[in-house]
A and B are shown apart, each in its own frame.
Chain A
């Protein structure tokens, strides 16, 4: 018996196949010679050195490494949230270093979705309002209908008016996921998305991330220290002491 979910999966994989044929030529994210050094007391502390990374459209890349290996810093730099000490990052065709903070913010709003370990939902806003927020900021019409649809998709159609504090961790992360996908981003950046969740909720969230990623043809870069999770991505990049190890 072929269930509705399976049918969706089939459809989604078709989409993925279609987009994969297209990506050969399209690089969404490209980092060259990224280094990050911070002052720690009198001496310089090297967090990242000489990182080269190119991610093509539709690809799913996992960045793994031990705590302190620099993976979250790399993600922040790739998102334009932090500035590298050396090197350049191209995101959706634009060089981040050449953009000012506002232009980077605009680029993020247009092309990037985020999922964080700590959810980062606005406590004063309901689930629906949290998802509407990025559309409202961009002054897109039909924000509510779009947000409702995505929340339905992540299985929270019944909890639209709940506040974050009344949602479980897994539910909060699903709201965050809906918020990331509602703008139809090209690139989804996920920072330890299951780090704050129990195994069961974590599995549910991961399934949703991969399903929705496939459905929308989004490019995924995920930071995690969970090897099993990393193995579900097409490519795994390992960081140790600020370098990519092969």
Chain B
């Protein structure tokens, strides 16, 4: 007989072994864990890939295109031709400021002035290439997306221009030499929300009508925009081509300039999705480890027989490795397919919200899924499997001879290391990846230690004697706890881990999602008012309270230019990145306050106090500090008008950009800025139906600028809602993985308990005695696992909320009630099921199965 069979023979036998083990139900949990892990990772990878592309495009909608080019002189027709040549879509717009006059005669003398400076935007028919314009047929009427821009001879104007000019839809307006009809109220313009400060109210018209106004002459201040959209490669090719041909005063706008609030939502959603997938993968790893351990325990005898029948160690290892590899590959393929189907379902249900076809998925996420599956298999199944080759053949004659020592820490070190590497790669963040792996490993060790200590205490001689005096079942139950101290501690730790995940995902998730929604609540401000003068403050406040609108916080704003950092003059060329350059070139809106605004949080340093603080202090937003390389202790010099001041950065603030509240990059104590000329700004929520109040405000204070950001808020909320839906779906996978861990942990000691129960019955213990003692044991473990999991879920939830998502999470009462209860219920159910199994079979059969 040939004793060195080839690879093919090994694979064939491994395949048969797989079929037999599968039939025996030994591998189902393991396979399920792998499938869940791979499905979760791939669905997120597939979907995140496609959604992030779509979201990038959504953000592009804020630009109105995939690529925007801006020039201070008209674009060379060659540039437009180049866009068309590459199969890209092209649109054009001219922006300029002009006086608009209402053709209608004023009705009363108290009426608003009939002429107003407007930001005119003349657009070609194809504008916008991404996103939609939204218009309303009348002031305050619901808006709807517009199929195309204004028709020739008509204009669309913004709410505040309607108010300022007293020009509802249908009115004729004069612009230069031309006269136009107001055809609609413009409620949302993609680019508008990108920078809604410091601009005159919008008037939109057709590009072909500009000539008729005679407003654009040589030397006129006009900004010329060229838009392009289309395939990514063609776009990148064009961008590279165009970048080399830009003249002075021309630039290409990128997504970097997109609104920070959408970027914040996007970042947060990606972290949510990524973390959830990782959680599922780690949990699946635990389930794989538990499942393999059970597999190994159940195969010790069989392996001893195979050794006895002449299987060399190397062959055994090869056989099991091949068996698990086939299983792994099949599970990975199934998981990837499931992941692909899942992302298809998510994408399908979100089609409306995503508003456009998602780009087709690539194969890369599937590859990633396979990698995750194989790492889990290698890291968590291989270590215990390797032990199998060390089972001595002698075990066939002396059972006790052959239980290989399992040194959990050492064997799983490889797995944890691999997984850590994978997580770091997946999270794209070393710290995050290591935090999760470390946190998980730490939690397991901590759980096991606490469980072991608590079980030891509970079953210690004196406690057991005191409690156990009343009933023998109680005494045996407590004795069992002590006897199984190690395996019980491991079981409690695994159970607590699975339960933590389930609790975290079912309770904390809801709280997190609520907190996230609250970050951009439905009552978020929808109007900004700019340009309030100091002497108008009281009158403006009175105006609000007269109309039963909550008087909003008014923030002073001083415009200053950054001239030096740490004494060195600021040169925009010295900064890397378009955004950094733009930021230092622009005037800063500086504000001052005694107290930290309620929607800001201190990230570093300290906030000044009224009495003891140094007057020369500044607090800057964390993100801008990072972009511009500012640190605590740096000194910044700003020029305000003809004066300059220098102050030290003493704190960094973290802002909620998606709160739609007024935020400032740089703030100072009042002492430093209150002597400079300031205007005030506020953001508030205008209740529906109160739109007329804004007309009255504009009429009473003609110098104020009112900006309607309602549509922008709605858009931001739609983005958040669609992301939450996607995240919830992915949670299901993680939840599945958590349930698998729970199941694996519950069945981990089932064999041993059945054997013991059978033995007890053989020696004459009654059913009541057997079930009673098991119940005591399970009850203690359930209380412990429930308490550990509740604490773990609460702590993790807080950590996640604060550190990762930057959200405030109130403690959940439900969690505290349901957590421990779930632990007890789960183990009670398990006790009931397992005692049923034990009692249903005759002790002899139960024992025979074991031998």
Contact = CB atoms under 8 A, between A and B. Distances in A.
B3 A138 contact: yes
Contacts of B849: 123, 165
Contact of B396 (A107, A114, A124, A136): A114
B147 interface: no
A116 interface: yes
B813 interface: no
B244 interface: no
A81 B398 CA distance: 10
Interface string B1-40: 1110110011001001000110110100000000000000
B23 A124 contact: yes
B309 A109 contact: yes
Given A110-B310, A137-B13, A138-B310, A129 B20 contact: yes
Interface string B292-332: 00000000011011111111111100000000000000000
B311 A72 contact: no
A199 B315 CA distance: 40
B199 interface: no
A20 to B, nearest CB: 26
Given A124-B20, A124-B21, A116 B396 contact: yes
Given A109-B3, A139-B5, A139-B9, A134 B397 contact: no
Given A105-B310, A124-B26, A137-B309, A81 B13 contact: no
Interface residues of A, number: 38
Contacts of B397: 72, 75-76, 81, 116, 191
A89 to B, nearest CB: 15
A110 B1 contact: yes
Contacts of B1: 109-110, 138, 140, 183
Nearest to A169: B848
B246 to A, nearest CB: 71
A139 B13 contact: yes
Contacts of A109: 1, 3, 309-311
A76 B401 CA distance: 12
Contact of B311 (A76, A105, A123): A105
B394 A125 contact: no
Contacts of B24: 123-124
Contact of B312 (A106, A114, A129, A179): A106
B2 A81 contact: no
B14 to A, nearest CB: 10
Contacts of A116: 396-397
Contacts of B308: 79, 81, 105, 108, 114, 120
Most buried by B among A82, A121, A136, A165: A136
Contacts of A165: 845, 848-849
A102 B309 contact: no
Contacts of B851: 118-119
A125 B3 CA distance: 22
Contacts of A123: 24, 302, 849
Interface in A53-109: 72, 75-76, 79-82, 101-102, 105-109
Interface in B503-559: none
Nearest to A139: B5
B298 to A, nearest CB: 8
Given A120-B305, A123-B24, A191-B397, A105 B13 contact: no
B392 interface: yes
Contacts of B2: 138-140
B723 to A, nearest CB: 46
A80 B397 CA distance: 12
A122 B302 contact: yes
Given A124-B20, A165-B849, A105 B312 contact: yes
A108 to B, nearest CB: 5
A105 B393 contact: yes
Contacts of A72: 397-398
Given A102-B312, A125-B20, A137 B306 contact: yes
Most buried by A among B302, B309, B845: B309
A139 B306 CA distance: 13
Contacts of A51: none
B402 to A, nearest CB: 10
Contacts of B302: 122-124
A105 B307 contact: yes
Contacts of B393: 80-81, 105, 108
B297 to A, nearest CB: 13
Interface string A154-183: 000000000001000000000000010001
B394 A81 contact: yes
A133 interface: yes
B21 A133 contact: no
Contacts of A129: 20
A118 B849 CA distance: 11
Nearest to A106: B3
B205 to A, nearest CB: 79
Interface of A: 72, 75-76, 79-82, 101-102, 105-110, 112, 114, 116, 118-125, 129, 133-134, 136-140, 165, 179, 183, 191
Given A114-B396, A139-B9, A139-B13, 7 more contacts: A72-B397, A72-B398, A81-B394, A81-B397, A102-B314, A109-B309, A137-B311
27 contacts: A72-B397, A76-B397, A76-B398, A81-B392, A81-B394, A105-B312, A106-B312, A107-B310, A109-B3, A109-B309, A118-B851, A119-B851, A120-B308, A121-B305, A122-B301, A122-B302, A124-B20, A124-B23, A124-B24, A133-B309, A136-B13, A137-B310, A138-B310, A139-B5, A140-B1, A165-B848, A183-B1
Q: Which 9 A-B pairs have the closest CB atoms?
A: A109-B310, A139-B5, A124-B24, A139-B9, A102-B312, A122-B302, A134-B309, A81-B394, A108-B310
